[in-house]
Structure 1
Amino acid sequence: MMRRGLLAAVLACGVAGAAPAETVLRVGMTLSDIPSITGQPDQGGEGWRFAGVTLYDSLVGWDLSRTDRASHLIPALALSWAADPADRRRWIFKLRPGVTFHDGSAFDADAVAWNMAKLMDPAAPQYDARQAAQTYGRMNALAGVEVIDPLTVAIITKSPDALVPWYFGRIFFSSPAQWEKVGRSWEAFARAPSGTGPWRFDRIVPRQRLDLVRNPTYWDPIRVPKTDRLVLVPIPDANTRVAALLSNQVDWVEAPPPDAASRLRQAGMQIVVNSYQHTWPWMLSRVDGSPFNDIRLRRAVNLAIDREGIAGLLGGFGTPAVGQVPPDHPWFGTPKWQVRYDPAEARRLLAEAGFGPRNPLRMRVTISPSGSGQMQPQIMNEAMQEMLRAVGVEVAFEVIDWSTMTQRRSQGAQSPEQTGIHGLNNSWSWVDPDFGFVSVLASDKIAPRGNNWGNVRVPEFDRLSNAIRAEFDPEKQDSLLAELHARMVEDATWLWVVHDMNPRAMSPRVKGFVQARNWIQDLTTVRME
């Protein structure tokens, strides 16, 4: 935890030398360190939000301008994309003309091909295993890239794949010229990164702050930032974040604790919430020997949780989750078994499987004290521990930091480091069909090839995942996703708890922010009064 005095000193040392007219937005993140800034950020959705879409752009963007509907895909570095009717494995991307990297070099088809090799080709000089690790589950669907002309590329997949546009909403593009200039080293590039985004790099103090400055020549004039400087400060402890906001050391904090809401409002702070594509679950392991290969036990732990009670602990910052998506979502479907609070049925299922007061089911779950989308993990996990104990399940926790958690997820439950671990408390996004469903359910996505941490192998999941990838009609694809989700609920694949309302608190001086229904947010609209 960063002490308040140190936090004040860190912030003061940077702003003292700023020009008097400079406007600064200071954000307190939930992370314990600065996300990687070489192109593909680590540390989950918060890394994506603060070190991804600020410094970099993707071929496909998100409409973040509305609060009343889920974000949808829009053109970004690519003006258009379409599968070739003659060969559905080829996606043709038409690139935006006139875009330059922060170092002044051109963004073009060669830059796209270079960046794809950075993530796909271990033999390429620019290949970066650290960045590639952030894209697993996407890059392994691709077979190659073809430069057609300076503003046209073909992305070739191994088989027809209708999910390709979703993949490229999270693939960012670094400057090949800058990589060459700094000595063909990603370590050196991290000290002087260059993307095409609305913010440019200024400086970094590891574990303390990242300073970005507005890019006045950004290719989208509407999204040139309204503030001169963006300061990102890692503050993993929730109460320290609140104290920093109340003492004017930061202007904005992610995930304020529910018990601080009244105090923040009394001090004149704004608290903003909105639903978005997020769920807070325990992923359950199904490696050989795991008790959760028994569907009765997966259902029992789901039935033991009072989700309304946990939502109450969150003070309106969360809503009960009875599946990956809310019941009113088009992808929910009609599962024949319902997630609910039914401790009597949980005890019956446990007894049927051979567990009871004299022989409790024992499970070990990996959790983190904070991190991207983790909400208030300590009080939430402790509440679940008591609820599960009441039905005859004894839970022990392994507590690790968020960045280590994401590494564990990418390794998979079968890795030696996770022997004896039965669950992983990793908040999850269903922002797109691949990330929310296919990458966590398909057997060809078992980690480290994808996000299937729990070693799930269900033939029906594979059949539907393949059908979704092969379905290019959006309505038919939605129907298949609803069927897959219904089967996931019936299978009790995860232990679902709540959906996050994405709370953040900010100074009354912060104006112009539009909280989109998305993991990422547009900070370019924010101005400081």
Structure 2
Amino acid sequence: MMRLGSLGGLALAALLAAGPALAQQKVLRIAMTAADVPTTSGAPNNGFEGVRFLGYPSFEGLVLWDLSRADRPATLRPGLAERYEQDPADPKTWVFHLRRGVKFHDGAEFNADAVIWTLDRFWKNDSPQFDPAGSGIARARIPILASYRKIDDFTVSITTTRVASYFPYMAVYILMISPQSFEQGGRDWAKVAALPPAGTGPFRLSRFTPRVSAELSKNEGYWDQARVPKLDRVLLLPIPEANSRLAALRSGQVDWVEVPPPDAIPSLKQAGFQVVTNSYPHVWPWFYQMGGNTSPFRDIRVRQGLNYCVDRAGLVQLLNGTAEPSVGWLKPSDPNFGNPQNRYAFDPARGRAMLAEAGFTAQRPLRFKVMISASGSGQMLPLPMNEYMQQNLKEACGVEVSFEVTEWNTLLTAVRQAPDAPILNGSTSVNPSSPSSDPAVAARYFLQAFVPPNGFNWGQWNDPQFEEAFAALEVARDEATFNAAYARAHERLVDNPPWLYIVHDLNPRAMSRRVRGFVSAQSWFQDLVTVDLQ
């Protein structure tokens, strides 16, 4: 892990290397929480922070997020497909009508052949462009893709393994790159990433220095001229340690930091920095493993009891109000939260009683290990937060928790493994944060069909009532039916909890007073197009 001094020096060197003209341009410098620069190949790693900064600004999908508003959860909008619909004769098939006149950053034309080429990259193992690393990420996020075909030069169809009303929410993660970039990189994805490759987005990847920085430049020829960026360049820097990000902001090395230390927020505001927060669909939990041979979480009383042992308000206070208590996958204010029987609150007596019913007492305390990361996308401040959880559970309910601390990408790899995989080193719980933005995410995390390696149901959770409600959601053709089924499904996520629900993040970031025009969307992803520097 790099220290601030060396990273700051390298960042300044990168800026100087771009030439004297850079000083006259609007260059936004962002400190990410990632420990490394996410991959630049159009299939970014480092979780959704990678997609936020090294995905959507440069690479686009057939469907895009609408990140234009701060007053409601983000919805979808047409992207490289100007419209799309379910085939009325076959609801497993979606037809995408492609936007005409779009070009990749390298001048190549975007059309149906480019879409099929990209899909082959991720789903056709014997294609020349098959990308094993990118395929693993794509298949985990879109586990229901079955087949696809070109209908004509500007129409493609994609067929799923099951009827899925939410498929457009998965299609947003299939990012298109120019096939010409693959040829230019000698048909070697590592070399393609170093080019960097061409997408269709409002920014183009213009420079990449491994482990140091990535640079985005304005795409003057962007297909939507109303959305040409105001910034000339964006410099992305991995600074995983929160206090180092804070020092970089205070010293003027960066203009924008993700997740500032909560205890520094009052002094940042006093010094004139902007601190931006907003409610957004994201949950910071511990996953329970129910499939392992030695897991205590097979017993629902343990899973429910622990949810009554957490002092969430105390953790929110530790985070200086940059989070809110989580008592389910969705927030209680969400219309699809439903009416579960359990309303989790800090009730140690009830938690201890439920653990005692399951056989865990002061004489025989519940003990388990949680795999956590030191930093990472959406992980907030995982070390102090998990230390708080460890002390809270010990004092409130006599639970003894130990940790397996690892790197973020290692944790992401672990949650795609079997319950007793060696990489877990005895952990029966894991702590990756999760978006809770739409049912497509819920499908990957909670349906029995998506236990690893098919998806993210790491805990091997299986609830027949959830499956039944979700099946109704998948085939719903009207909003009322969809929402009613979603609420029934979510009630099961609360009453038969696959996770220990802890907090919802409020997505804090701190910025220089020079940053203008940022809209804090209620989404994991954010729009850099509207951002300006004064």
TM-score band, normalised by shorter chain: over 0.9
Q: Is 2:242 aligned against 1:232?
A: no
Q: Is 2:341 aligned against 1:336?
A: yes
Q: Deviations over 1:89-146 (max 9, x none)?
A: 2211011101111111011111111111111111111111111111234443122111
Asked if 2 retains the 8 angstrom alpha-carbon contact of 1:236 and 1:371, the reply is: yes
Question: Aligned residue for 1:74?
Answer: 77
Query: Aligned equivalents of 2:260 and 2:489: distance in 1?
Result: 34
Question: Aligned residue for 2:186?
Answer: 183
Q: Is 2:275 aligned against 1:271?
A: yes
Residue number among 31, 35, 39 corresponding to 2:34 in the alignment: 31
Q: Percent identity?
A: 44
Query: Aligned equivalents of 2:92 and 2:181: distance in 1?
Result: 32
Residue number among 146, 149, 169 corresponding to 1:146 in the alignment: 149
Asked if 1 retains the 8 angstrom alpha-carbon contact of 2:142 and 2:171, the reply is: no
Query: Aligned equivalents of 2:358 and 2:163: distance in 1?
Result: 42
Asked if 2 retains the 8 angstrom alpha-carbon contact of 1:27 and 1:252, the reply is: yes
Q: Secondary structure at the match of 2:208?
A: strand
Question: Aligned residue for 1:116?
Answer: 119
Residue number among 368, 372, 378 corresponding to 1:363 in the alignment: 368
Asked if 2 retains the 8 angstrom alpha-carbon contact of 1:27 and 1:251, the reply is: yes
Query: Aligned equivalents of 1:215 and 1:475: distance in 2?
Result: 41
Q: Deviations over 1:203-253 (max 9, x none)?
A: 212221111111110111122111111100000000000000000000000
Q: Deviations over 1:153-211 (max 9, x none)?
A: 11112232212111111210111122122211111110111111111122212221111
Residue number among 119, 132, 137 corresponding to 2:135 in the alignment: 132
Question: Aligned residue for 2:414?
Answer: 408
Query: Aligned equivalents of 1:231 and 1:317: distance in 2?
Result: 26
Query: Aligned equivalents of 2:477 and 2:99: distance in 1?
Result: 24
Query: Aligned equivalents of 1:5 and 1:248: distance in 2?
Result: 13
Asked if 1 retains the 8 angstrom alpha-carbon contact of 2:404 and 2:425, the reply is: no
Q: Secondary structure at the match of 2:413?
A: helix
Cα offset, 1:289, TM superposition: 2.9
Query: Aligned equivalents of 2:335 and 2:121: distance in 1?
Result: 36
Q: Is 2:428 aligned against 1:422?
A: yes
Cα offset, 1:259, TM superposition: 0.5
Q: Secondary structure at the match of 2:151?
A: strand
Q: Secondary structure at the match of 2:379?
A: coil
Q: Deviations over 1:37-56 (max 9, x none)?
A: 11121111211100110110
Q: Secondary structure at the match of 1:134?
A: helix
Q: Deviations over 1:230-286 (max 9, x none)?
A: 100000000000000000000000000111112211221100000111000001101
Q: Secondary structure at the match of 2:452?
A: coil
Question: Aligned residue for 1:205?
Answer: 209
Query: Aligned equivalents of 1:421 and 1:136: distance in 2?
Result: 25
- Between 1:372-381 and 1:501-510, the stretch displaced more is 372-381
Letter in 2 for 1:141: I
Residue number among 81, 85, 92 corresponding to 1:89 in the alignment: 92
Q: Is 2:391 aligned against 1:386?
A: yes
In structure 1, stretches of 5+ residues that fail to align are: none
Q: CA RMSD, aligned part only?
A: 1.3
Query: Aligned equivalents of 1:111 and 1:414: distance in 2?
Result: 41
Aligned length: 528
- TM-score, structure 2 as length reference: 0.97
Distance 1:497 1:139, change over 3 A: closer
Question: Aligned residue for 1:471?
Answer: 476
Q: Deviations over 1:463-494 (max 9, x none)?
A: 23333222232321121111111011000220
Q: Deviations over 1:312-351 (max 9, x none)?
A: 1111100001101111102200101222111001111111
Query: Aligned equivalents of 1:465 and 1:36: distance in 2?
Result: 34
Query: Aligned equivalents of 1:383 and 1:183: distance in 2?
Result: 50
Query: Aligned equivalents of 1:350 and 1:432: distance in 2?
Result: 32
Residue number among 208, 219, 222 corresponding to 2:226 in the alignment: 222
Query: Aligned equivalents of 1:114 and 1:242: distance in 2?
Result: 42
Letter in 2 for 1:293: R
Asked if 2 retains the 8 angstrom alpha-carbon contact of 1:412 and 1:454, the reply is: no
Q: Secondary structure at the match of 2:513?
A: coil
Query: Aligned equivalents of 1:109 and 1:281: distance in 2?
Result: 40
Q: Deviations over 1:364-389 (max 9, x none)?
A: 00111111111111121111111111
Asked if 1 retains the 8 angstrom alpha-carbon contact of 2:87 and 2:95, the reply is: yes
Question: Aligned residue for 1:481?
Answer: 486
- Between 1:158-167 and 1:97-106, the stretch displaced more is 158-167
Asked if 2 retains the 8 angstrom alpha-carbon contact of 1:371 and 1:402, the reply is: yes
Asked if 1 retains the 8 angstrom alpha-carbon contact of 2:211 and 2:238, the reply is: yes
Query: Aligned equivalents of 1:175 and 1:461: distance in 2?
Result: 41
Question: Aligned residue for 1:60?
Answer: 63
Asked if 1 retains the 8 angstrom alpha-carbon contact of 2:167 and 2:440, the reply is: no
Letter in 1 for 2:462: R
Query: Aligned equivalents of 2:356 and 2:8: distance in 1?
Result: 55
Query: Aligned equivalents of 2:418 and 2:163: distance in 1?
Result: 27
Letter in 2 for 1:524: V
Query: Aligned equivalents of 2:154 and 2:328: distance in 1?
Result: 42
Asked if 2 retains the 8 angstrom alpha-carbon contact of 1:136 and 1:448, the reply is: no
Counting only pairs closer than 5 Å after superposition, residues 191-340 of structure 1 correspond to structure 2 as: 191-192=194-195, 193-287=197-291, 288-340=293-345
Letter in 1 for 2:366: L
Q: Secondary structure at the match of 1:90?
A: strand
Q: Secondary structure at the match of 1:74?
A: strand
Query: Aligned equivalents of 1:419 and 1:375: distance in 2?
Result: 24
Q: Secondary structure at the match of 2:529?
A: helix
Cα offset, 1:412, TM superposition: 4.3
- Between 1:172-181 and 1:306-315, the stretch displaced more is 172-181
Letter in 2 for 1:518: S
Cα offset, 1:414, TM superposition: 4.0
Asked if 2 retains the 8 angstrom alpha-carbon contact of 1:2 and 1:240, the reply is: no
- Between 1:281-290 and 1:517-526, the stretch displaced more is 281-290
Query: Aligned equivalents of 1:472 and 1:120: distance in 2?
Result: 28
Query: Aligned equivalents of 2:142 and 2:303: distance in 1?
Result: 31
Asked if 2 retains the 8 angstrom alpha-carbon contact of 1:355 and 1:392, the reply is: no
Letter in 2 for 1:527: D
Query: Aligned equivalents of 1:125 and 1:352: distance in 2?
Result: 57
Query: Aligned equivalents of 2:505 and 2:141: distance in 1?
Result: 25
Q: Secondary structure at the match of 1:477?
A: helix
Asked if 1 retains the 8 angstrom alpha-carbon contact of 2:4 and 2:239, the reply is: no
Q: Is 2:405 aligned against 1:396?
A: no
Query: Aligned equivalents of 1:406 and 1:179: distance in 2?
Result: 27
Question: Aligned residue for 1:11?
Answer: 11
Letter in 2 for 1:213: S
Query: Aligned equivalents of 2:448 and 2:487: distance in 1?
Result: 19
